[in-house]
Amino acid sequence: MPKSEKAIVRLCGVSKTYGATKALTEVDFACFGGEIHAILGENGAGKSTLMKLVSGVIQPTAGHIEIDGAEAQLAGPADAISRGLICMFQELSLVPDLTVRENLMLGAPGIGLGRLDGDVVARAQDILTKIDGGDIRMKTRVSDLSLAERQQVEIAKALSRNPRLLILDEATSALNASVVEKVFHLIRAERDRGVGVLFISHRFHEIEALADTISIFRNGTHVETFSNGAYDYGAIISKMVGQRIDDLFPPKPAPDPDAAEVLRLEGFGWADSLHDVSIVLRKGQITGLGGLDGQGQGDVLQGLFGLLKGTRGQCLMGGAPVAIKNPRMAKSPQLGIALIPEDRKTEGLILDQSIARNLELAALGVNTINATDPAIYQPFLDALELKCDSLDQPVSQLSGGNQQKVALTKWLALGPRCMLLADPTRGIDVKTKTQIYALLRRLADSGVAILLLSTDYEELIHLCDETHIFYNGRITRHLAGADITAENIIAASLNIPSAEPANGGSAHA
């Protein structure tokens, strides 16, 4: 079925503000039936806000929304669902304490608060089978499912509700390629029978494979809409970023194999998830930890910061064995270890408190530092160009990038000897990334040993002096110097023995 004439949903001059923050500014946008419409933009560009508006989770501050050509107020998700606007959210909309079956029925059209019936479950189960989710048992609690299984359930839940407009926000981020292909097959089938699809993904090749139309958003504005194929990657990226950033990474200095050792792990292990890990961190070096998600890299960082009980093996600092029992001990001037945790919103920062309060929290317990003196934070805030009204502003009002700057500065003020970073640039705009990269390199130059866990190959390749790749709780490969290539990293991540220089084209995932 060809693209429909009349837009299913049309945004007319829509703006959305949160307090002083403008999430969307005067956006005109339309999506049609029979069309897969991809939305591209960096984090903070307004994609998720757009999705929430269309699915009724939030209401516009200004402008209006038209549905099937008539102006409409979406009172809430229930209203949107009853009009056939079905959204699959990035932060999943599954209830952890309910079973798969119960989640599929929750809020399904026709059920509401009334009697539950199993029709929708049968439909969903059918869909699950088509996307390799046939093994997921209906009576399992969602909290016991893996992230990938939850995404499969979420997809089945959305499709089983007979959408007219299907909204997918990073719907496949945890799924492997073959499942993704099956999901795409279903989505194309939906399009072919006249359903409109709004699709957000960070994976370029997915968008290339799936989208009919692409819209680019930047800083809360709608930049351009065009047909898939009208521009090449480079052009699309520069539209997303707004300016070209040539030197994303600072230059790497020549390796110094004689640099003093700061920390050494020998035969480190923990429970069933980590085995026989040996790593040496040296002064002035950035050491990378790579691999697929959850292969044990995170446990190394947590173990070094005293978060794991019953670790095996030895940890030596300056040649002497140390047992790090908790974060308080890790941050003491004797050890000087700092951890930037993976989830800055729940682990790295206290969102409801002011920037100043957040900055002081780590330094407060250290006797050698006057935590309440703003001067100890200022150099780092300047280097990272933190944008805020004042230090009394609550952290929750900052953008993701600026939040991460606060999380970093809080630890930098302690003058750590060893910094552990868990994917510090995840979900952060390009400009902030370059600032963080530059700062990390400068820290290394000043003698700090840095251990960087990253899911971004580019960081491992261009920022790290050496890299350990993890698979199934073990280090499968140690790469240094010119050996740190995309091909080697991918091969090691998948635990494929071959490390022959291959002509990689799929290097970027």
Torsion sign over Cα 241, 219, 215, 166? positive
Kindly tell me which of 235 and 271 has the beta carbon lying closer to another protein.
271
Closest CA to 30 of 66, 56, 75, 82: 66
- Minimum CB separation of residue 312 from another protein in Å reads 12
Q: Please report how many Cα atoms fall inside a 13 Å half-sphere around the Cα of residue 98, on the Cβ side.
A: 11
Tokens linked to 418: 């060893």
Task: Write down the residue that tokens 């997915």 correspond to.
Answer: 206
503: left (phi over 0), alpha (psi -120 to 50) or beta: beta
- Minimum CB separation of residue 436 from another protein in Å reads 19
Kindly tell me which of 25 and 353 has the beta carbon lying closer to another protein.
353
Task: Write down the residue that tokens 């903070």 correspond to.
Answer: 44
Kindly tell me which of 189 and 364 has the beta carbon lying closer to another protein.
364
- Minimum CB separation of residue 268 from another protein in Å reads 14
Note the residues at the interface with another protein (CB under 8 A).
55, 57, 76-78, 80-82, 87, 89, 91-99, 102-103, 105-107, 111-116, 137, 139-141, 270-271, 302, 305-310, 326-328, 330-331, 339, 341, 346-354, 357, 360-362, 364-365, 371, 393-394, 396, 410
CA 54 to each of CA 168, 198, 279: distance values in angstroms, whole numbers, following the listed order:
12, 10, 49
Residues near 317 by beta carbon (within 8 Å), at least 6 away in sequence: 262, 263, 264, 335
- Minimum CB separation of residue 42 from another protein in Å reads 24
CB-neighbour burial class of residue 56 (10 A; exposed 0-12, middle 13-18, buried 19+): buried
- Minimum CB separation of residue 469 from another protein in Å reads 23
Helix or strand (DSSP H, E) at 436: helix 430-445
- Minimum CB separation of residue 30 from another protein in Å reads 23
Kindly tell me which of 93 and 278 has the beta carbon lying closer to another protein.
93
Report whether 440 contacts 463 (CB < 8 A): yes
Report whether 31 contacts 8 (CB < 8 A): yes
Kindly tell me which of 28 and 144 has the beta carbon lying closer to another protein.
144
Kindly tell me which of 346 and 446 has the beta carbon lying closer to another protein.
346
- Minimum CB separation of residue 29 from another protein in Å reads 21
Kindly tell me which of 277 and 479 has the beta carbon lying closer to another protein.
277
CA-to-CA distance for 89 and 54, rounded, in angstroms? 12
